[in-house]
Amino acid sequence: MKEKFRVRTDLALEEREEIELEDSELKGVIVEEKKNEQENIRVIKLTITNEHGARLLHKPVGTYLTLEAPEMAESSEEYHREISCVLAEYLKDLIQPYWREDGISILVVGLGNREVTPDALGPNVVNNIAIQRENEVDSQKISISGIVPGVMAQTGMETAVIIKGVVRETKPDVVIAIDALAARNSKRLNTTIQVTDTGIHPGSGVGNHRKAITKESIGTNVIAIGVPTVIDTPTIVYDTLDNLLKALSVSKHFKAMSDTFRKFNDEEKYQLIREIINPEMSDMFVTPKDADETIKRIGYTISEAINIATDVEKEYLM
């Protein structure tokens, strides 16, 4: 059976939105939503409970939290503080199972290339983490360390191999990995945070598949945090064509043309776009023009959430 056409995205929520099935057919996928109207922050919890759900969404079994904050790309300190607090509450829940009686050891991994702005989210987060080597907080020892392993083009090594070596030597209870993602919807660029307990596949959204960073591959628990910072060019053109067809459908002169194109399925439309646009553009990814400052700001917001979730923020600020 031919696999259904899929556009590039790292977000489990967008995979769910692409599925044209009745809710009764979505066995193995549970979706819950919570919205903070006052702060304009929406959190969608998507849980994949079995292999059927995993096949539908092309994601491993586990929990996927999507935090949508439309104003996250803006510079409001108060709004970013609220995002940090909301994200911290969910991180606490994910970290809780890994606490030992005497404390916890956490390794924060900033994935990506600090020299490439859309891919520099992970390194920016690590820059602002409150590094703690076995400091005592509330009678418990909390160890928080950080690493930016770089990318294969810089090191010649798989990122997962580097992390596995560090994990073997330092033995953290959990790894928190931060990475830049690819989105299907341009409105989600730099306004969405995905958190999952299933690990991460670096570069998957941009077609640059690297070895997965999961409990199985590195030897310890993994929580992944990602923000979509790029979208591929064919997807932008695809959406533009779709909007054009909607506009043409209301015109008596162009309705026939619109009806003809609408007979194409999603894959046919997408492949047509890839053929007619400049070949050099077909594998190009786009990021918002103000990405430099935005990525730094969001990186700080995520680092604050980790600091709050691990109860070391007060110590860090003193």
User: What is the rounded CA–CA span in Å between residue 253 and residue 31?
Assistant: 43
Confidence of residue 138 (pLDDT cuts 50, 70, 90): low
Supply the mean pLDDT for the chain.
84
The total of other beta-carbon atoms located within 10 Å of residue 168's CB is 11
The tens digit of pLDDT for each residue in 172-202 reads 999 999 999 999 888 899 999 999 999 987 6
The SS3 call for residue 226 is: strand
Is the pLDDT score of 1 beyond 60?
no
The SS3 call for residue 256 is: helix
Confidence of residue 9 (pLDDT cuts 50, 70, 90): confident
Confidence of residue 140 (pLDDT cuts 50, 70, 90): low
Is the pLDDT score of 231 beyond 50?
yes
pLDDT value at residue 239: 77
User: What is the rounded CA–CA span in Å between residue 69 and residue 66?
Assistant: 10
The total of other beta-carbon atoms located within 10 Å of residue 134's CB is 10
pLDDT above 70: percentage of residues in the chain: 85
- Alpha helices by DSSP H, listed for 117-232, are 121-127, 152-155, 159-170, 215-218
Report the b/e string of 49-60 with b at 16+ CB within 10 A: eeeebbebbebb
pLDDT value at residue 127: 94
Pairing mode, if any, of strands 103-110 and 140-147? parallel
Which one-letter amino acid corresponds to residue 50?
A: N
Task: Show Cβ contacts of residue 283 under 8 Å, excluding neighbours closer than 6 positions.
Answer: 207, 232, 233
User: What is the rounded CA–CA span in Å between residue 217 and residue 211?
Assistant: 8
Domain residue ranges in the chain: 12-234+284-317
Is the pLDDT score of 149 beyond 90?
yes
Confidence of residue 318 (pLDDT cuts 50, 70, 90): very low
Selected residue with higher pLDDT from 264 and 3 = 264
pLDDT value at residue 50: 93
pLDDT value at residue 57: 87
Report the b/e string of 202-213 with b at 16+ CB within 10 A: bbbbbeeebbbb
Q: Cα 254 vs. chain centroid, distance in angstroms?
A: 40
The SS3 call for residue 68 is: strand
Relative orientation angle of helices 255-262 and 233-248, to the nearest 10 degrees:
140
CATH architecture of 12-234+284-317: 3-Layer(aba) Sandwich (3.40)
The SS3 call for residue 120 is: coil
Taking a C-beta distance cutoff of 8 angstroms, is the pair 227, 180 a contact? yes
The tens digit of pLDDT for each residue in 14-47 reads 888 877 654 546 788 999 998 876 678 999 999 9
